[in-house]
């Protein structure tokens, strides 16, 4: 085998491995629902004896009206306190990108802090936020069998609050549960907008991490536009390990909407989305 042939084969193997890993990650793709001719392969559920079992908890969006009214009022008080008490200043760019779209649409954003979700939701105009759900990790928030009763009670309260205040749509990111994508797809079919973090986890360094294919597959199935969004400053306002926010500026920049062709490549779309994230970050730096 020539050096050129060997290099090409190695690169092809790496691409296949990377795509297989992506499909097993957050918002997994059901091969039975993939587009004909695509490279999507069935990912077998992964089990681990060391993975704590999650307890059942309500995750449907929206929550009941009384819950939304109660926690919505609490959330507004928290936003007021954070903005004026802790002096957290918002800076928005590109809101017109959302205003010109017909719902539903998908905000795809980089992820650097737990403050990202409430910041995006709080700074959306009410006409958008009332029908926008934030996709989050159920495995991060849900009660677990290995935790104490008190810890699980607190987790239930947190889930109840975020589900009611920011319409958090929680999905289990572990294992091979293909219902994850269907659960989110159902929200879009009911006219809900979505906020998704394609990295599926926070970046501790602030650098853009590996993007999962789920948002591309979701956009491909639904035909919904994806609005690339860059957020910065939240990792300074609420660093990892912090409980109370610090003074600072949170910047959110919305880019031009993107769409994927019905027969388009999800990998190519994700690569373009990653490029837009980098471009938006540079625009924010120069602004």
Q: Give the CATH number, domain containing residue 199.
A: 3.40.1130.10
Q: Kindly state whether residue 227 falls inside one of the protein's structural domains.
A: yes
Please report the DSSP string for 168-184 in residue order.
EEEE--STT-THHHHHH
pLDDT digits (tens, 9 = 90+) for 222-256: 999 999 999 999 999 999 888 899 999 999 999 99
Which pLDDT band, with edges at 50, 70 and 90, does 52 fall under?
low
Q: Kindly state whether residue 252 falls inside one of the protein's structural domains.
A: yes
Instruction: Give the Å distances, CA to CA, from 191 to 19, 65, 103, 184.
Output: 30, 18, 6, 11
Q: Kindly state whether residue 260 falls inside one of the protein's structural domains.
A: yes
The pLDDT of residue 174: 63
Across all residues in the chain, what is the average pLDDT? 81
Whole-number percent of the chain with pLDDT over 90: 52
**Tokens coding 195:** 């906020």
Q: Exposed (0-12), middle (13-18) or buried (19+): which is 10, by Cβ within 10 Å?
A: exposed
Q: Kindly state whether residue 11 falls inside one of the protein's structural domains.
A: no
pLDDT digits (tens, 9 = 90+) for 159-201: 888 888 899 888 876 654 334 688 889 999 999 999 999 998 8
How many other CB atoms are found less than 10 A from the CB of residue 225?
18
Residue 198 or 206, more confident = 198
Q: Kindly state whether residue 49 falls inside one of the protein's structural domains.
A: no
**Polymer length of the chain:** 287
Q: Kindly state whether residue 14 falls inside one of the protein's structural domains.
A: no
Distance, CA of 185 to CA of 30 (rounded, Å) = 12
Which pLDDT band, with edges at 50, 70 and 90, does 53 fall under?
low
The pLDDT of residue 178: 38
How confident is the model over 63-81, as a mean pLDDT? Answer: 92
The pLDDT of residue 267 is above 90: yes
**Tokens coding 220:** 């491909």
Q: Kindly state whether residue 26 falls inside one of the protein's structural domains.
A: no
Distance, CA of 61 to CA of 167 (rounded, Å) = 6
The pLDDT of residue 152 is above 50: yes
How many domains, in total, are found in the chain?
Answer: 1
The pLDDT of residue 26: 44
Which pLDDT band, with edges at 50, 70 and 90, does 82 fall under?
very high
The pLDDT of residue 40: 42
Distance, CA of 215 to CA of 195 (rounded, Å) = 10
Which pLDDT band, with edges at 50, 70 and 90, does 204 fall under?
confident
Rounded to two decimals, what is the model's pTM?
A: 0.78
Range of the domain at 250: 61-286
Q: Kindly state whether residue 88 falls inside one of the protein's structural domains.
A: yes
């Amino acid at each position: 085998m020539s050096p050129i042939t060997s290099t090409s084969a190695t690169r092809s193997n790496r691409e296949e491995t990377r795509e297989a890993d992506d499909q097993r990650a957050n918002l997994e793709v059901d091969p039975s629902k993939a587009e004909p001719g695509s490279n999507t392969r069935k990912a077998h559920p992964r089990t681990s004896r060391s993975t704590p079992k999650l307890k059942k908890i309500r995750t449907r969006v929206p929550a009941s009206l009384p819950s939304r009214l109660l926690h919505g009022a609490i959330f507004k008080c928290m936003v007021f306190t954070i903005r004026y008490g802790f002096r957290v200043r918002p800076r928005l760019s590109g809101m017109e990108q959302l205003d010109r779209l017909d719902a539903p649409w998908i905000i795809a954003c980089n992820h650097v802090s737990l403050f990202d979700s409430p910041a995006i939701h709080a700074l959306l105009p009410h006409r958008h936020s009332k029908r926008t759900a934030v996709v989050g990790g159920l495995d991060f928030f849900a009660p677990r069998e290995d935790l104490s009763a008190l810890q699980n009670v607190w987790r239930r309260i947190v889930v109840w609050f975020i589900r009611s205040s920011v319409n958090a749509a929680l999905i289990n990111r572990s294992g091979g549960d293909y219902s994850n994508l269907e659960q989110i797809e159902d929200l879009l079919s009911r006219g809900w907008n979505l906020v998704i973090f394609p990295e599926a986890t926070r970046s501790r360094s602030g650098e853009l991490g590996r993007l999962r294919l789920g948002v591309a597959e979701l956009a491909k199935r639904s035909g919904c536009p994806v609005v690339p969004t860059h957020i910065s400053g939240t990792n300074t306002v609420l660093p990892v390990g912090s409980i109370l926010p610090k003074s600072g500026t949170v910047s959110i920049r919305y880019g031009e909407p993107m769409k994927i062709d019905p027969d388009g490549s999800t990998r190519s779309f994700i690569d373009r989305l990653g490029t837009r994230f980098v471009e938006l970050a540079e625009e924010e730096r120069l602004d």
